[in-house]
Amino acid sequence: MAHYAKVNQGKVVNVIVADQDFIDNFVDTSPGKWIQTSFNTLGGKHYLPDLDENNEKVLSGDQSKALRYNFAGVGGYYDKVADAFYAPQPIDTPSWVLDTDTYTWKPPVNMPTDTSKIWRWNESTTSWDEVTY
- Residues 6 or more apart whose CB falls under 8 angstroms from that of 20 comprise 2
Task: Compute CA 1 distance to the chain's CA centroid, rounded to the nearest angstrom.
Answer: 20
**Against a cut of 0.75, is the pTM above it?**
yes
pLDDT digits (tens, 9 = 90+) for 46-76: 999 999 999 999 999 999 999 999 999 999 9
Query: Does residue 113 share a domain with residue 58?
Result: no
Query: Does residue 41 share a domain with residue 102?
Result: no
- Give the pLDDT band (50/70/90) at residue 8: very high
pLDDT digits (tens, 9 = 90+) for 87-116: 999 999 999 999 999 999 999 999 999 999
Query: Does residue 24 share a domain with residue 56?
Result: yes
Query: Does residue 123 share a domain with residue 63?
Result: no
